[in-house]
Amino acid sequence: MMALSTVTGVRPDIPWSAAPWFGDDRFLDTVSADALAEAAMRTMDYGRDLDPELLGPWFHAIEAVAARNPLPEPMAKMAIMLRACGRTDVSLELCDQTDAVQRIMFTEVVQAGTWRALGDPVRTAAAFERALALEPDNWSLYLDLADLHAEQGDFAAAAESVERGLRHAPEEPTLRAAGAAYRARRTGSAADLRELIDLAPQVPNASYRRALIDYACAGPGLPDDLVEAARRL
């Protein structure tokens, strides 16, 4: 199964799962939820678009294995593959089934990603808040929520979400950098932009670092020399 998932990710235009053994219930009865979840995730490792028209046997396998061996985290991983195939309704339904077994933070994050893909920021935020209710000390969830607010242009809410996260991880540089960026964008504070300039080298993700700098430099009335210094990072 792992080999088939890998070649599916490499060449999603070939109907690999049409192999008779893959859709056979006798075979699926031997597949664990963990194994199918790992295989489903591997199909997405190569960044190529999956073709749902060629993946019917995968969808059957997910339905069969989830019904027989309903484990929350593996089911949530399967829901990610369904979302990647454009089957967002089925992905959300599988997350609901997962919640009926046991509510876990990961399922809420998967649902947040699906609602985000569907362009529904309200439901995305609600899913992140449910995730935080389950793991209130997970600073990265506050950052996800802050970034969502920033995408919607609500920099006050973005900064507030960062502050919530800093109560749990006051020294986390990425969180501190995001807070400085969102405050600078909202208020035009030169001090906040200077703080971002100091913290930016500690933000490991280059594209995210650049996004924070772009947000901050759009703040009202910021000194040109400070903006230029930030842009040079």
Of 143, 151, 81, 141, the C-alpha closest to 116 is: 151
Rounded Cα distance, 196 and 180, in Å: 6
Banded pLDDT at 1 (limits 50, 70, 90): confident
Asked if 15 and 54 touch (Cβ cutoff 8 Å), the reply is yes
Query: Is domain 136-233 in CATH 1.20.120, yes or no?
Result: no
Write b or e for each residue in 111-145: b if 16 or more Cβ atoms lie within 10 A of its Cβ, otherwise e.
bbbbbbeeeeeebbbebbebbbeebeebbebbbbb
| Rounded CA separation 136/101 (Å) | 21
* Separation between Cα atoms, residue 167 and residue 139, nearest integer Å: 9
Reported pTM: 0.92
Structural domain spans, the chain: 1-107, 136-233
| Residues 127 and 159 sit within 8 Å (Cβ to Cβ) | no
Q: How far apart are CA 38 and CA 78, in angstroms?
A: 8
Evaluate if residue 23 carries a pLDDT over 90: no
Question: Can you give the C-alpha Rg of the chain in angstroms?
Answer: 21
Measured distance CA(146)–CA(159) in Å, rounded: 7
pLDDT tens for residues 188-227?
999 999 999 999 999 999 999 999 999 999 999 999 999 9
Q: What percent of the chain has pLDDT over 70?
A: 100
d(CA 165, CA 150): 15
pLDDT tens sequence across 153-172: 999 999 999 999 999 999 99
Rounded-to-integer distance, Cα 199 and Cα 171, Å: 11
User: 67 CB contacts (<8 Å, ≥6 apart)?
Assistant: none
DSSP letter (8 states) at residue 50: P
